[in-house]
Amino acid sequence: MATPQVTFGCNFNADGYWDAAEFARRAEALGFDRITTGEHLMDGNPPRPTVLSIPAMAAAAGATKTLRVMTGIVIVPLYNPVLLAKMISTLDVVSAGRVDFGIGISGQRGTQVEFDAVGVSVRTRGRRTDEMLQVMKRLWTEEHVSHHGRFFDFDDVTLLPGPVQQPHPPIWVSGRSDAAMRRAALLGDGWYPYLFTLRRLKQSNEEITQIAAEAGRDLSGFHWGLNQPTSIMDDPEAAMAQAVENVGQRYVTAERSAEDIAKALCIAGTPEDCVQSVQERIDAGVRDFNLSFLAPDIDGIFQQMETFSRQVIPHFRS
């Protein structure tokens, strides 16, 4: 059986390291297909330092030639749709059509502080996002756009130049909820879950396929993505320890230990272990991986990027 086409990206997510351009150059040189970064206005109490995705990816695009740059994710409901559509089309133009538009609504604990800061009700974030995606598609493909909706109202807006990619940059919908899956199936060009078990991954892909079919929507060319925490080392115990520290301990419950959670949600182990774990996710329907390498500092992340690119990715190239 032919090997399906699989892509690999990596997440620019090292706390205290802000050189998106250098990170992107390294990723491109190592043969990764894309880089991505998430965003928060404020994250934690007290807030930890964070970046916004679009300007970080603009820096990455300017430092590379072929690497795709992905907002992974933009918290859409914090923005105005006209301004956000213009920002994304500008990024697509200056990158010569290399943008993947990853979006979400920020469902994590403590997110209300971000919405309060910009005067948006956190309780409306899903409905606001659905309206925004429909509006933004029109702004990317039409001129003299007028819209009179529940959350946004404007007349005669034309945004030029339009995006390079037609009809617009691919929209990857992130999330974990049924509402997010429905949004991906009906409004997105990709599904981008995170912290999913293999079983949940397979279920979510099947649910999206069913929703789209019931709506008569063709998912040809759809991106079946995954934001995947990854720890790759020659010492499997050390690799798992990083996964437990970075993921397991953060989501530990009374019912499940930190190690059980890390094993269920992370790719962790030797290069051979990682090849097997990637294949399991491909079998569950994933085709586009974005890897969040788990290391205590940027040097450790760069080392894991190199190991993965040399010893794992070649197994999945035709």
Please choose, from the candidates 42, 35, 29, the residue with its C-alpha nearest in 3D space to the C-alpha of residue 8: 35
The answer to whether residue 204 sits within a structural domain is: no
The answer to whether position 145 is within a domain reads yes
Is the Cβ–Cβ distance between 301 and 295 less than 8 Å?
yes
In a domain, 38, yes or no: yes
184-212 b/e (C-beta count within 10 Å ≥ 16 → b): bbbbbbbbbbbbbeeeebbebbebbbebb
Q: Is residue 267 in a domain? A: no
Report the number of distinct structural domains present in the chain: 1
Alpha carbon 15 to its chain centroid, in Å, reads 18
Burial of 149 (0-12, 13-18, 19+ CB in 10 A): middle
Give CA–CA dist 145/134, Å, rounded.
12
Q: Is 154 left (phi over 0), alpha (psi -120 to 50) or beta?
A: beta
Is residue 116 one of the residues assigned to a domain?
yes
- pLDDT for the residue 2: 54
Domain presence at residue 197: no
Q: How does pLDDT run across 200-214, given as a tens digit for each residue?
A: 999 999 999 999 999
Query: What local confidence, expressed as pLDDT, does residue 1 receive?
Result: 43
Whether 49 is in a domain gets the answer: yes
Q: What is the pLDDT of residue 107?
A: 78
Phi first, then psi, for residue 135 (nearest 5°) are -65, -45
Domain of residue 42, residue span: 5-168
Give CA–CA dist 260/271, Å, rounded. Answer: 20
Judge if pTM exceeds 0.85: yes
Instruction: Please report, for the domain that includes residue 88, its CATH number.
Output: 3.20.20.30
Q: How far apart are CA 183 and CA 77, in angstroms?
A: 14
Q: Which residues, given as ranges, of the chain have pLDDT below 50?
A: 1
DSSP letter (8 states) at residue 244: I
